[in-house]
Amino acid sequence: MNATQEKLKAHVEQALIAAFGADLAGVDPILVPASNPKFGDYQVNVALSLSKKLGKQPRAIAGAIVEKLDVSEICEPPEIAGPGFINLKLKTAYLEAQLNAIQADPRLGVPAAKTPKREIVDFSSPNIAKEMHVGHLRSTIIGDSIARILEFQGHDVLRLNHVGDWGTQFGMLIAYLREVYPDALTTANALDIGDLVSFYRKAKLWFDTDEAFQETARQEVVRLQAGAEDTLHAWKLLCEQSRQEFQIIYDLLDIKLIERGESFYNPLLPGVVEDLEKSGLLVENQGAKCVFLEGFTNREGEPLPLIVQKSDGGYNYATTDLASLRYRIQQDEAKRIIYVTDAGQGNHFAQFFQVARKAGWIPDDVELVHVPFGLVLGEDGKRIKTRFGDSVRLRDLLDEAVSRAHADLKTRLQKEERQETEEFINEVARVVGISAVKYADLSQNRTSNYIFSYDKMLDLKGNTAPYMLYVYARIYGISRKGNINFKELGNNAVLLQHETELALAKYLLQLDEVISSVEQDLLPNRLCEYLFELSQKFNQFYDRCPILQAEEPQRTSRLVLCDLTARTLKLGLSLLGIQVLERM
């Protein structure tokens, strides 16, 4: 609900009490945006819901409310329609005053959170010794956007990258490299990431088919856990090799993260088991230490256990996640912990959240949130893969987007007979390509699967990043053509006369409501929808209203509308992790 809606709601609540007494204090006035602009901007529907309670016709109730309703500063006189709807139309003067008020505000009228909190966003989370693939795209992009929005709202955000950097796979890889490539365990950068991935696959194949090698690998894990110098040195080299490759992608995507891998929590795992034993939750089952869960059963319909310590004394993901959760509450003092992972992990989060709650580790003022997302599919509707059946490398996918944006731009420049430097072309291609990938992902409801299509995401028309970047560049084209510096417009009054000016103004004033909703429900696609609709409303205004050719004071007023639109687009896109361009 935006600031205007909040004000109107308060007025209607007061009118309800004035008309029918204090018994109606707290009744929701059911104030909603009008379904059709011809009915105004907002509609109050409470009269219909009160008819039975008050024993009166809805129109009579609506009439009594309107008699006591003073919204003259905000709206035209209220009108009663149909069986008892109260229609409210915002005054043009009110809209002008609101726009004039946000001109000098860098936050464009969006208030910061009243009670800032320490929030953790756990996202990206690739595995060491493996390349980031298309499956990491959604977690990385969605998590970054959520973190940006929470930071903008004034929260103290800790961006954590919970990388898989511990466990059996390292014993397996180190044991294999000792046999085939010992230099990789003593020399930095002896392998590139592609070789490391190839060796990992071969090690896994050997591990799965040779019991003797399995035992050798397990001994390396024991040595790693015990801190054996040579094994620990090898492990650090492998981690650093992977980190360098991850950082190339994070730099390309402009992602900031603090790495805190599984190894960080390893010393805390025995304490997790000990505390669960003290709380009486731990049950021994076939030699393993487990917590039995409510609401989860196996195929035989028996209660499902969450294993926190295996029969051989080892730990698993759930133990690490429980340790990390406790650390984040006790040491990081987080009040909301947000995990951004694929929807397939939903049960895992529900299970270890349940164990933590049963153990009494979650204070009442701490909120745990799993932010699930669907799959990235190829144009055949199946999981996106290379022609060899492997997951697509994230770096290849991003490079391809930039390459296609580069080719599209060169074609357009040839058609327009425009001469631009190679530096300009490369920069525009980079911004457009990366933005297109990010926006295509974020504009989907994250809980759904979506089909990855370069052609659609790079289209200059439709709900795409290039479309919005083009609108932004168009506004700066107006400033160049008229030799206008938007920063020097000052606080010139906005005058709204044309219907497209009014529609644009009303939409500009909804930014605070949209950002507030994303802060709560963590659905960045709502911000995408808003920015796309705003871009469309600007284009309608641009097509119907002369700007540079208009007479004063209309000319300056329309330039202010252009500036507010550009600033809103820039702010909104920055919260999605998308850079803007003044020329394309």
Are residues 416 and 528 located together in one domain of the fold?
yes
- Residue 262 tokens read as 């599984």
Q: Contact at 8 Å (CB) between 406 and 458?
A: no
Quick one: average pLDDT of 49-53?
89
pLDDT grade for 121, boundaries at 50, 70 and 90: very high
Residue 387 lies in a domain: no
Residue 581 lies in a domain: no
Query: Alpha-carbon distance 159 to 121, whole Å?
Result: 5
In this predicted model, what pLDDT tens digit does every residue of 368-387 receive, in sequence order? 999 999 999 988 888 877 65
In this predicted model, what pLDDT tens digit does every residue of 3-42 receive, in sequence order? 888 899 999 999 999 999 888 888 999 999 988 888 899 9
Are residues 462 and 541 located together in one domain of the fold?
yes
Are residues 206 and 296 located together in one domain of the fold?
no
Are residues 221 and 272 located together in one domain of the fold?
no
Are residues 440 and 517 located together in one domain of the fold?
yes
Residue 113 lies in a domain: no
Are residues 333 and 204 located together in one domain of the fold?
no
Query: Alpha-carbon distance 108 to 534, whole Å?
Result: 14
Q: Contact at 8 Å (CB) between 126 and 163?
A: yes
Are residues 287 and 412 located together in one domain of the fold?
no
- Residue 420 tokens read as 């631009």
Domain final residue pick, 209, 232, 255: 255
Q: Contact at 8 Å (CB) between 467 and 456?
A: no
Residue whose structure tokens are 């080719």: 407
Residue 104 lies in a domain: no
pLDDT recorded at residue 77: 95
DSSP 8-state code for residue 164: B
Residue 172 lies in a domain: yes
Q: Contact at 8 Å (CB) between 134 and 397?
A: yes
pLDDT recorded at residue 411: 95
Residue 97 lies in a domain: no
Domain with residue 318: its CATH number is 3.40.50.620
Return mean pLDDT, the chain.
92
- Structural Rg of the chain based on CA atoms: 29
Are residues 185 and 286 located together in one domain of the fold?
no
Q: Contact at 8 Å (CB) between 257 and 160?
A: yes
CA 367 to chain centre: 18
Query: Alpha-carbon distance 230 to 567, whole Å?
Result: 55
Are residues 489 and 404 located together in one domain of the fold?
yes
Model confidence, pTM: 0.92
Domain hosting residue 329, numbered range: 118-163+263-373
Question: For the chain, what is the domain count?
Answer: 4
Return the exposure string of 229-264: e unless at least 16 CB atoms fall within 10 Å of the residue's CB, then b.
eebeebbebbbebbbebbeebbebbebebebbbbbb
In this predicted model, what pLDDT tens digit does every residue of 245-274 receive, in sequence order? 899 999 999 999 999 999 999 999 999 999
Residue whose structure tokens are 């053509």: 481
Question: Per-residue pLDDT for 389 more than 90?
Answer: no
Q: Which of 458, 451, 452, 453 lies closest to 436 in space, CA to CA? A: 458
Domain final residue pick, 255, 287, 311: 255
Domain with residue 73: its CATH number is 3.30.1360.70
Are residues 316 and 229 located together in one domain of the fold?
no
Are residues 179 and 136 located together in one domain of the fold?
no
Are residues 82 and 138 located together in one domain of the fold?
no
Residue 436 lies in a domain: yes
In this predicted model, what pLDDT tens digit does every residue of 315-326 receive, in sequence order? 888 999 999 999
Domain final residue pick, 221, 255, 289: 255
Residue 50 lies in a domain: yes
Residue 571 corresponds to which amino acid? L
